[in-house]
Amino acid sequence: MRQIFLDTETTGLSADNGDRIIEIGCVELFNRKLTGNNKHFYLNPGRDSHEEALKVHGISNEFLKDKPKFEVVADDLLAYLQGAEVIIHNAAFDVGFLDKELELIGRPLFKQFVASVTDTLALAKEIFPGKRNSLDALCVRLGVDNSGRTLHGALLDAELLADVYINLTRGQDALLIDLGSAQNAGPSAVQIDLRGFTLQVLAANDQEIAAHDDVLTQIDKASGGKTVWRPAPENRA
């Protein structure tokens, strides 16, 4: 499956009130492997960034003056995203801005160009209800190194999001070995599906069983005897 992790930086918070996209970063995964086939654009928004936005991304108005307009890169971006699952943190924000940019050049809504849009913020809220689920918070919780993120940057944030997503969904992918290199990964990559093989079952030895039972006993004690995997004393043989 081809997945694109996408992030944007903008001049402010409201596309409906005239704020525009100034940076787009995209990172590609194929079968949960980084391919290196990424996209990155800086864009001239035709207006200045709000002061608060500048504090977030640090991209000066002067730097963007000679960058292309969105309409110049739109075809390249849409061709790259065509048919992929696009994964975004707080997708409503980025998709709202992309929809507005597309509307301004007379193009259909963003979702008409991609297979689907997945919001990792919604996914994280399901997995970690009641906790902070910003990208930084998830990096800390899931052990993703975000030490280089002093300011927001679309490509860096897309790369971090890819790592966060892999950790959030670990264990949900099929047991596949990709024999193609990361540089050549794509629809033609050779795969071996191990689900058709009979794998040898290695049983635990007595020492391992005893060690496992000891761990369960300690957890049982720590929970005040509230664990559910052991029968109540009156039901034990």
* Residue 191 counted as domain residue: yes
Nearest CA-CA partner of 9 in 79, 70, 84 = 70
* Total domains, the chain: 2
Q: Which of 90, 125, 92 shows the shortest CA–CA distance to 111?
A: 92
- End-to-end, the C-alpha distance of the chain in Å comes to 50
Assign residue 11 the CATH number of its domain: 3.30.420.10
Q: Are 88 and 118 in contact (CB under 8 A)?
A: yes
Residue 32 is part of which domain span?
2-195
In a domain, 201, yes or no: no
48 occurs within a structural domain: yes
Q: Does residue 152 carry a catalytic annotation?
A: yes
Residue 112 falls within a domain, yes or no?
Answer: yes
Q: What angle do CA 91, 97, 99 make, to 5 degrees?
A: 95
- Which of 50, 57, 152, 212 is labelled catalytic? 152
Whether 152 and 220 map to the same domain: the answer is no
The answer to whether residues 216 and 113 belong to one domain is no
Pair 216, 107 in one domain: no
* Neighbour-count burial of 235, counting CB atoms closer than 10 A to its CB (0-12 exposed, 13-18 middle, 19+ buried): exposed
pLDDT in tens, the chain (237 residues): 899 999 999 999 999 999 999 999 999 999 889 999 999 999 999 999 999 999 989 999 999 999 999 999 999 999 999 999 999 999 999 999 999 999 999 999 999 999 999 999 999 999 999 999 999 999 999 999 888 665 578 999 999 999 999 999 985 543 333 434 444 444 444 556 656 666 667 788 888 888 888 878 877 777 777 777 666 555 554
Please check whether residues 154 and 227 belong to one and the same domain.
no
In the block, tokens 């409201």 appear at 14
Q: Is residue 200 a part of any domain in this protein?
A: no
Q: With CA atoms as reference, report the closest residue to 116 among 83, 91, 92.
A: 83
DSSP string, 81-130: HTTPEEEETTHHHHHHHHHHHHHHTT---GGGSSSEEEEHHHHHHHHSTT
Residues 169 and 223 in one domain: no
Map residue 60 onto helix, strand or coil: coil
Which of 59, 61, 65 lies closest to 25, judged by CA? Answer: 59
